[in-house]
Structure 1
Amino acid sequence: MTQMMQALVVREPKVLDIADLPVPEPRRNEVLARVRSVSICGTDAHLINGDYPGFWPLGFPFTPGHEWAGEIVALGEGADTFGWNVGDRVAGTSHNACGACQKCVEGQYNLCENYGKPGLHSQYGHNVQGVNATYAVHNVKCIFKLPEGMSFDEGALADPASIALHVARRGNIKAGDTVAVIGAGAVGLLAADSALICGAARVIVVGRGYRLDRAATLGFETVDTNAGDPVQEVRNLTGGLGADVVLECAGTPLTVQWSMAMLRRGGRCAMVGIPTEDVAIKCQPLVLDELELVGSRASAGEMRRVLPFMANGRIRAKELITHNFALSEYDKALATFNDRASGAIKIIVNP
């Protein structure tokens, strides 16, 4: 190890730099990891664009990144008592919750009631520094051992895969259900696999372009939003009834409206996409058809659950990796991520 490292620094919205920064030191119950792979998330693109001013991040300059894998190179005080050792291969997640509020005690640490309070809660790559760097520090609550044989690149997708499993579980999928997934990006495709794990008999992916083609390659039924009314097509595929569960993974006002409109009576929509605009929802069918709309934020314990499914191939995360870039090429990686004609699904940056 050296005393300095390379890190991506967003100087201000849309202004990127690769800087030399001091290697951070792990504090109590923290580890220092050599970061090997970082996956670009849609939240990263929004953050770099300045779409959440004063919230994500609190201010600039800032280092984004929260989907990662690497190996432990140093232990902070107390980390060894939790069974961690130098050399352990790990994947990380972002929510470093307080662990003491009612939501944390009940297992909903993603809803920590002390969110953002200094010294009580932090979210790596959101309101505290992230992992697009040679080294990064994480609390022991936020790291998980990679299964034997899993690559760092695949391990970097454990966080979005856990988010996908969480939204599927929030959908309360029952054995034999028909599930529609809106959005054929990485989280949508991972959610489609998660729906099968949760018991869905049929999964219909709604999207467009090369991402929808990938959904078809993975064996899912597909509905092309460019080919007509996706709500009517989902109803046509379900004998006019609609889907038992919809997983909304696109996050636009229109896709939210589609999601509610394609539900079967008594159906449930779990929403993980975050629209940046207000959404108008028809309340009459919400009441008369007893529909449900629930939010799904990050994950709450799914990291350890999702890794075995990734290892045995039931969650096909590694099949979604389309590009690799060096950290010094982050501007190119981000441009590729933002270009819908690039063929990108999941882009990995290797510090």
Structure 2
Amino acid sequence: MHKPKTPGREHLHTTAVILNGPRDLGLDRLSVTPPSADDLVVRITHSGISTGTEKLLWTGDMPPFPGMGYPLVPGYEAAGEVVEAGKQTGYRPGDRVFVPGANCFDGAFGLFGGAASLLVSDASRVTRIDPGLEAEGALLALAATARHAMAGPGKAVPDLIVGHGVLGRLLARLTIAAGAPAPVVWETDPARRDGATGYDVIDPSADERRDYNSVYDASGNNAVLAELIGRIVKGGEIVLAGFY
């Protein structure tokens, strides 16, 4: 639900990416709910594209979910600059922030809502980030996903990661940053094997190992699970970190 409008203030406007329906993508100019004293107005500079949920929305295969429908403003991994800050927010114009989407649009669902030039968000949902972070700032949510996948008492760091997309790369770098041995990374797409720093990315067919202790799947491909079970030692673990 939208917050009450600020008395005497006209709607703001934004240019947003709109999914009007499956495989129907465009740009549109939308009204944005005026901010309250608890809100920030953020000019978005970078917005990520999810190859999980948003791909399913694009193809029309996304299962029903409360608050979701078409037309939809996608994007829940956005970075930008505060241009207006409510008195109670603790932020100032010019602050660099991460925004996990927004629900501030008239005429479109905003369950995600980060893929817009300007948006309004409650300050409690926003995270201040380093001013030097440009496109990398939009990776905060995925970095948190990778960190949470590796968190927990007695949790083993991966010695095999499946998938060299953004999440797989983050898992590999966090493993090395933790001081653990470099993991092996599987990737079936030759175009995605580049960009590794300090670890090897190989085609699964070139790997004969069957003694992995901890396998992290970041591919979202449930068809690979049977193969992974045959690759771990007795007592080993498989962590499902992707979107299935």
Shared fold (TM-score greater than 0.5)? yes
- Paired position in structure 2 for 1:166: 148
Cα contact 1:168–1:198 (8 A) shared by 2: no
Of the three residues 71, 76, 79, the one matched with 2:81 is 71
Query: 1:192 offset after TM fit, Å?
Result: 0.8
Query: Who is 1:266 aligned against?
Result: 235
Amino acid at match of 1:214: G
| C-alpha contact 2:16 2:115 (8 A) present in aligned 1 | yes
Structure 1: distance between partners of 2:192 and 2:24 = 29
Question: Aligned partners of 2:232 and 2:145: how far apart in 1?
Answer: 22
Q: Check conservation: 1:67, 1:156, Cα contact below 8 A.
A: yes
Match of 1:219 among 180, 188, 198: 198
- Number of residue equivalences: 228
Q: Deviations over 1:13-60 (max 9, x none)?
A: 111121111133234533221111111121222222222143176211
**2:13 is aligned with 1:13:** no
User: Superposition pairs for residues 144-159 of structure 1, below 5 Å?
Assistant: 144-151=127-134, 153-159=135-141
> Which moved further from structure 2: 64-73 or 136-145?
136-145
Structure 1 position 92 matched with structure 2 position 75 = no
CA contact (8 A) 2:100 2:114 kept: no
Alignment gaps of 5+ in structure 2 = 1-10
SS of residue paired to 1:41: coil
Larger proportion of helix: 1
Q: Percent identity?
A: 26
Once residues 45 and 158 of structure 2 are traced to their aligned partners in structure 1, the CA distance between those partners, rounded to angstroms, is 38
Secondary structure at 1:234's aligned position in 2?
coil
The aligned residue for residue 72 of structure 2 is 62
Partner of 1:189: 169
1:32 is aligned to 2:59: no
Where 1:128 maps in the other structure, the secondary structure is: coil
CA spacing shift, 1:207–1:70, aligned 2, 3 Å:
same
Letter in 2 for 1:144: T
In structure 2, do the counterparts of structure 1 residues 12 and 214 end up closer, same or farther at CA, with 3 Å as the change threshold? same
SS at match of 2:237: strand
Query: Which one-letter code corresponds to 1:212 in the other structure?
Result: R
Q: Distance in 2 between matches of 1:162 and 1:260?
A: 26
**Which moved further from structure 2: 203-212 or 265-274?**
265-274
Match of 2:57 among 47, 61, 64: 47
Write the letter of the residue equivalent to 1:17: G
CA RMSD after TM alignment: 2.8
Amino acid at match of 1:243: Y
1:221-254 Cα distance to aligned partner (Å, 9 max, x none):
23312x35x4xx232xxxxxx2221111011122
Alignment of 1:106-185 (within 5 A): 128-151=111-134, 153-169=135-151, 172-174=154-156, 179-185=159-165
Q: CA deviation at 1:164?
A: 1.7
Aligned-partner SS, 2:183: strand
Q: Does 1:234 align with 2:213?
A: no
3-state SS of 2:141 partner: helix
| Distance in 2 between residues matched to 1:21 and 1:89, nearest whole Å | 24
Quick check: 2:14–2:119 contact (8 Å CA) kept in 1?
Answer: no
Please give the alpha-carbon distance, in whole angstroms, between the structure 1 residues aligned to 2:218 and 2:23.
Answer: 25
Deviation at residue 127 of structure 1 after TM alignment: 6.5
Q: 1:266 to 1:129 in 2, by over 3 A?
A: closer
Structure 1 length as normaliser, TM-score?
Answer: 0.58
Q: Secondary structure at the match of 1:45?
A: helix
CA distance in 2 between counterparts of 1:192 and 1:143 reads 27
CA contact (8 A) 1:92 1:159 kept: no
Shift in CA distance, 11/267, structure 1 to aligned 2, threshold 3 Å: same
1:253-281 Cα shifts (integer Å, max 9, x gaps): 22222333322222222212122xxxxxx
Q: 1:126, CA displacement in angstroms?
A: 8.9
Distance 1:93 1:21, change over 3 A: closer
Aligned residue identity for 2:233 = R
